[in-house]
Structure formats: C-alpha cells, structure tokens
Amino acid sequence: MELSTLWFLLIALLFIGYFVLEGFDFGVGMLLPVLGRDERERRVLINTIGPVWDGNEVWLITAGGAMFAAFPEWYATLFSGFYLPLLLILLALILRGVAFEYRGKRPATSWRRRWDWCIVFGSAVPAFLWGVAFANIVRGVPLNAAHDYTGSLFTLLNVYAILGGLTTVALFLTHGAIFLALKTTGEIRQRANRLAERVGVAAAIAAVLFLGVTLLRRATPSAVTLAVLAALCLVGGLISNRAPSRTDPEGRREGWAFAGTAAAIALAVASLFADLYPFVLPSTVDPLTNSLTVTNASSTPYTLKIMTWVALVFTPIVLLYQGWTYWVFRKRIGVQHIPDEAAQMPAPGGRAVG
C-alpha cells in the first residue's frame, strides 16, 4: 500500500473517531435545555461529558494536522474554499468551551441560562456544518486548473449539503440521548430513553435518504456495504434502546444501544470516505483534470515516511490515555450526586461557582 493511501485511511479513521466521540457530546449539549429541567439536572448532563469533551476535540486537531502534513494541497484548498463554514465551526467550539468553564462562575439563574444557550449553540452549529462540509467534499465543488475553489458560500448551501447537515444533527441528537441514558439514573435516564426513540426515527430516515442519494451519485461496492452495515447498526441500536435490560429491571439495554449508534456513525463516515477515494476533493468543473486526489495532493514520500513512524509511536499512547479516562469516569451519575450547596459555593472574591 502506498503511503499516500495509508494516510488517507488514517485521516478517515481520525474523523471517524471525532464524529463518534464528539457526536455524543454535541448531542448532550443540544439536549441541555430539553432534558435538564432544573439547575441540578442540567449539572448532571454537563457532568456526563465534563471529563471527556475537550479530549474528544483532540481527534479533530490531529485530523487537521495530519491533513496539513500529509495532503497540504487538500488542506489549503479546503480551508480557503470552506473558510466561512470552518470559521463558524471554530468560533462555535470556542464559545462552547468558554461556556462550560464560565457558567458556574456566578449563581444567578440568568447568567447560567445564557451560558447554557451558548453550549446549545456551540454544539448545534458544528453538528450541522460538519454535515454540510462533508457532503460538499463527497459531492465535489468547483475547482479550477490550479485547484482553487471558485464558488461562494451559497454554492456550499445546496440541497444535498443541507440534507447532510440535518442528518448529522439528527444522528448526534440520538447518539447523545442514548449516551445520557447510559450515563444517568432516575428520571433523566427515562426521559433520555424516550427521546432517543423519537429522535432515532428521524435520524434513521435522514440517514437513509442522505446515504441513498450519495450512493446513487457514485457508488462503489465497499461504500454500499458500509452504508448498509451503518443502517443495520442504527436500527439495532434503536431496537436495543427499547429492549428491557436483563440486569436492571428499570432500565434498557443502553450499552448495546450506544454501541449501535456509535457503529452506525463510524460506518456512515467510512462509507463517505470509501465513496470519495481516490479523490480527496472532486471538482465539479472538470473532474478528470481539476480534482484533487491522494496522488496529486500528497506530500513527498519522505515526509509521509517520517509521519508514519511518529504515528506508530504516539498513537497507541494517546489511545491508551483516552481509554483510561473513559474507564475512570464510566459510572452513572444522577441528581443525588449534585449537592444542594454546590450552586451557592463561595469562591474567592465573594462570587459563587456551581
């Protein structure tokens, strides 16, 4: 296997990891005002992703860095042509991170409510725009002979791309609701289960439509196989979310449900990359000569060789550390774990943190 193809697969794997892991905490963020009916319940929701949300974003940073080093022309064309959507994603992620840190700095309800809506905004905007961006990458965009993007923002907001954005939002909402059912107790768990049932139907319809349209445009056997498996995993996850648990009479099989939605997202993203290969950014102007491929967009073999050795050393370390983090914070939490005095705890300077 050529190193350029290997790095295409590695970048695909990094984006798969990002969408699977960041997908559920985007979902939790969007569901904050829906499932959190008071301050203690909202604290529970935030605490389910508190130890992991920033670590999940490392997958995106690594994917962007790998793209820059392995396929610099792909990186340059993508980040210049998709400049405004990617800037909006970046700003939303910054606002979301600030909101997690600042919402507890004051006890006022209005203060916390404003930051809660910043978390919702910072979760919903990236969830939608990532779907728009990847739909356009797979569909192709207008590139000239110099591989420069010649379209506008409205070129990216086509019907197919908007369908892709709605699909990722629905999938992440379902993934997040099932994650909350897996990580919480009591009424929050029950409400999350019920919501996952309703949102899951919309996610399944949107995903089938989006993947169906994608495969009708340009299908490969591997892409079709992965898309079918993704649909089966999503259905299996939704069925598991309805099935009663054998060990917990009050619960359902949330573990299998979460595994199903995670596998569905992973296989759906893999299907898009399988459909894209050997292109990295097709041109709608002249696909044969103006498109970027794994060959004409890649770095030199020497650069890819050095990157491969670095990845072999450090990737297992990162995976072990993140796996350990999830293991340490694996237990369920509920409102009983949020002390009453936490919302009024004094901080230095006379302010309160929650």
Per the DSSP assignment, residues forming a β-bridge with 353 are: 345
Q: What is the pLDDT of residue 347?
A: 36
Q: How many CA atoms lie within 13 A of 160 on its CB side?
A: 18
* pLDDT single digits (tens) 175-221: 999 999 999 998 999 999 999 999 999 999 999 999 889 888 777 88
* pLDDT single digits (tens) 275-297: 999 999 999 998 889 999 999 99
- Name the helix (H) or strand (E) containing 183: helix 159-183
Which residue has tokens 């350990």? 324
Spell out a b/e string for 257-282, using b for 16 or more CB atoms within 10 Å of the CB, else e: bbbbbbbbbbbbbbbbbbbbbebbbb
Question: Virtual CA dihedral for 94, 97, 100, 102, nearest 10 degrees?
Answer: -60
Q: What is the pLDDT of residue 218?
A: 75
Confidence band for 78, pLDDT divided at 50, 70 and 90: very high
* pLDDT single digits (tens) 57-73: 999 999 999 999 999 99
In one letter, which amino acid is 303?
Answer: T
> Nearest to residue 134, comparing CAs of 284, 12, 7?
12
What six digits make up the tokens of 139? 């569909």
Confidence band for 353, pLDDT divided at 50, 70 and 90: very low
The answer, yes or no, to whether residue 35 has pLDDT greater than 90, is: yes
The answer, yes or no, to whether residue 351 has pLDDT greater than 90, is: no
Q: Is-contact 253 238, C-beta < 8 A?
A: no
Spell out a b/e string for 135-163, using b for 16 or more CB atoms within 10 Å of the CB, else e: bbbbbbbbbeeebebebeeeebebeebeb
* pLDDT single digits (tens) 90-123: 999 999 999 999 998 888 889 999 999 999 999 9
Q: For the chain, how many residues are written?
A: 354
Q: What percent of the chain has pLDDT over 90?
A: 76
Q: What is the pLDDT of residue 104?
A: 87
How large is the average pLDDT for residues 161-173? 96
In angstroms, the CA 25 to CA 47 distance is 11
Q: What is the pLDDT of residue 343?
A: 45
No. of H helices and E strands in the chain? 15, 4
Q: What is the pLDDT of residue 341?
A: 52
Helix, coil or strand: residue 136: helix
Confidence band for 248, pLDDT divided at 50, 70 and 90: confident
How large is the average pLDDT for residues 6-20? 95
Q: What is the pLDDT of residue 216?
A: 83
Confidence band for 14, pLDDT divided at 50, 70 and 90: very high
Q: How many CA atoms lie within 13 A of 27 on its CB side?
A: 33
Q: What pTM did the predictor assign?
A: 0.91
Q: What is the pLDDT of residue 33?
A: 93
